[in-house]
Amino acid sequence: MPAVVVKPDRSDQVTALLGYAAERGIPVTPRAAGTNLCGGFAPTPESVALDLSGLNRVVEVDVEARRAVVEPGVINAALQEHLRPSGLCWSPDPASAAISTVGGNIAENAGGPSCIKHGVTFHHVLGLEVALAGGRLLRLDRDDEVDLLGLMIGSEGILGVVTQAVLSLRPLPRATWTALAAFDRIEEAALTVSAIVAEGLTPSALELCDQRQVQLCEAWKPSGYPVEADAILFAEVDGDPEAVAAAAPALESVLRRFDPGIRRCCGPARWRPPSASTWRPSPMRATATSIRCCSIGRPRPRPCSEPRARSRRPRSTSAGP
Ligand SMILES: Cc1cc2nc3c(=O)[nH]c(=O)nc-3n(C[C@H](O)[C@H](O)[C@H](O)COP(=O)(O)OP(=O)(O)OC[C@H]3O[C@@H](n4cnc5c(N)ncnc54)[C@H](O)[C@@H]3O)c2cc1C
């Protein structure tokens, strides 16, 4: 527990606090949404917890330049909602996007399912305003001769406090195609990932879940995932409808290499009427909201619910997330 929690809502309050604390040798620990998966926010009893959730303004969106200036406490998902009407998005999509903040994403250099195509937070930050320990405000830019911006991104709050960020935005894809492949052996899922890369395909998202993860997800929120499968793989391509139409069959053929059960679904641009299946790929970022149903794409040699006999050794009970 920290000695005190301070919640500023302006960057000059942050610098004033840091200056005051530095003069007295008081440790300060920044905190954003507090998802804190890696334990970066661990205040000591004599420290000040600096709650940055009050710095939560989207200062400016320049649609033409595909650029946004935001404060660090803006929630990732709220930023995406803010940008949606302008047809833009900010690429980082950690699974914590609904609660984590831009500042936290920057401090952790967060990625997400789409980082295979679009990169991690580092690739989408153009500049930062940072309050240093003594209270000095520093501006870091992607074009600086020394890459202090790169040093700052992912530094988990130990080098300074991000008080404002200039983000690079990209257009929302006009079409998406998503598939779920279910495998009898997790090794086949891993080999499929390698094959996708070897084929030179660039999915916009790729996520592997082992059986334990799938079972836990299903127990928490039933979504019709094949709990019998040893592993499942979500794969998505996005872009212009023509590009998606060209990429999807190639991706599907690699996914089918190990003869898995495949379920496919299409984004709004390639919408098909709902079938009996109501599968929704909830572990995958925005697809959970943009895709409303999936259909079983074509006759499968074996439905997901009837996996072929397994010829592998029993899995260790310690396997899992
Ligand atoms: C359910 C869940 C799913 C996740 N999924 C992913 C994923 O798919 N990919 C991925 O990469 N990560 C993932 N994460 C981790 C993710 O990186 C963090 O959730 C997120 O980036 C942290 O944001 P936050 O706002 O919660 O920050 P906090 O947890 O509050 O803080 C994280 C760290 O950043 C520092 N910090 C916070 N704000 C600032 C600031 N303004 N300036 C300087 N330092 C600051 C804090 O001191 C702390 O060290 C996941 C976490 C959870 C809980």
Domain of 263? Answer: 175-295
Assess whether the C-beta atom of 40 lies below 6 angstroms from ligand 1. yes
Whether 269 and 186 share a structural domain: yes
Please tell me the residue having the least CA distance from ligand 1 atom 49.
40
Residue whose CB lies within 8 A of the most ligand 1 atoms, among 52, 74, 108, for a mutation test: 108
Count of structural domains, the chain: 2
Express each pLDDT in 198-240 by its tens digit.
Answer: 999 999 999 899 999 999 999 998 888 889 999 999 899 999 9
Rg (alpha carbons) of the chain, rounded to whole number: 22
Per-residue confidence (pLDDT) for residue 42, from 0 to 100:
87
Closest residue (by CA) to atom 22 of ligand 1?
104
Half-sphere exposure of 227 (CA within 13 A, CB side): 11
Question: Same domain, yes or no, for 84 and 109?
Answer: yes
Tell me, using a 6 A CB cutoff, whether residue 94 lines ligand 1: yes
User: Is the Cβ atom of 108 under 6 angstroms away from ligand 1?
Assistant: yes
Q: Ligand 1 mean position to 266 CA, how many Å?
A: 30
Q: What is the pLDDT of residue 37?
A: 85
Residue type, 197: V
Please identify every stretch of the chain with a pLDDT value under 70, giving residue numbers as ranges: 259-262, 264-321
Cβ–ligand 1 distance for 119 under 6 Å, the answer no
Same domain assignment for residues 196 and 285: yes
Residue 318, in any domain of the structure:
no
How far, in Å, is the centroid of ligand 1 from the Cα of 50? Answer: 15
The structure tokens listed for 126 are 């153009």
Confirm whether pTM is higher than 0.85: no
Helices and strands (H and E) in the chain: how many? 9, 14
Q: How far apart are CA 83 and CA 57, in angstroms?
A: 13
Whether 180 is covered by a domain: the verdict is yes
Query: Is the same domain home to 103 and 182?
Result: no
Give the distance (Å) from ligand 1 centre to CA of residue 31.
Answer: 9
103 lines ligand 1 (CB under 6 A): yes
> In DSSP terms, which residues pair with 70 in a beta bridge?
58, 165
| Three-class DSSP category at 168 | strand
129 and 186 inside one domain:
no
Could you tell me if 272 and 295 are in contact, meaning their C-beta atoms sit under 8 angstroms apart?
Answer: yes
pLDDT at 84: 96
Do strands 48-51 and 4-6 pair parallel, antiparallel, or not at all (unpaired)? parallel
* DSSP bridge pairs for 231: 183, 210
User: Is 100 a member of any domain?
Assistant: yes
The verdict on 128 and 146 lying in the same domain is yes
Q: Is the CB of 30 under 6 A from ligand 1?
A: yes
- Cα 106 to middle of ligand 1, angstroms: 8
For residue 67, is it within any domain?
yes
* Residues paired with 68 in a beta bridge: 61, 167
Q: Are residues 135 and 245 in the same domain?
A: no
Q: Looking at the structure, tell me whether residues 166 and 179 fall in a common domain.
A: no
> How long is the chain?
321
Candidate from 74, 96, 164 with most ligand 1 atoms within 8 A of CB, to mutate? 96
End-of-domain residue from the set 149, 171, 193: 171
Crossing angle of the two packed helices 241-255 and 186-198, in degrees rounded to 10:
140
- Determine, yes or no, domain membership for 248: yes
Residue 165 shares a structural domain with residue 207: no
| Structure tokens that stand for 201 in this block | 């395909």
CATH code: domain of residue 257: 3.30.70.3450
Q: What distance in Å separates the CA atoms of residue 95 and residue 110, rounded to the nearest whole number? A: 10
Burial 193-230 (b: 16+ CB within 10 A, else e): bebbeeeebebbbbbbbbbbbbeebeeeeeeebbbbbb
- Reduce the DSSP state of residue 184 to 3 states and report it: coil
Tell me, yes or no, whether 186 lies in a domain: yes
Give the pLDDT of residue 99: 95
Q: Indicate whether 167 and 55 sit together in one domain.
A: yes
Last residue of a domain, one of 171, 192, 207: 171
Distance CA 320, CA 315 (A): 10
Q: What pLDDT score does 283 carry?
A: 42
Q: Which domain-ending residue is among 171, 198, 215? A: 171
The pLDDT of residue 38: 83
Cα–Cα distances in angstroms (integers) from residue 109 to residues 134, 139, 155, 224, 274, in the given order: 24, 18, 8, 32, 38
- DSSP for 210-232 reads EHHHHHHHHHHS-----TTSSEE
E strand intervals along the chain:
4-6, 28-31, 48-51, 58-62, 67-70, 88-89, 125-131, 137-141, 161-168, 170-171, 175-183, 205-210, 231-239, 261-266
Q: Which residues contact 195 (CB under 8 A, 6 or more apart)?
A: 254, 257
119 in a domain, yes or no?
yes
Collapse the DSSP code of 1 into the 3-class scheme (helix H, G, I; strand E, B; otherwise coil) and give the result. coil
pLDDT, position 315: 32
- In contact, 205 and 284? CB cutoff 8 Å: yes
Instruction: Clarify whether residues 155 and 236 are in a common domain.
Output: no
The CATH number for 109's domain is: 3.30.465.10
Is the domain of 140 the same as that of 232?
Answer: no
Residue at 190 is within a domain: yes
> Does residue 105 have its Cβ closer than 6 Å to ligand 1?
yes
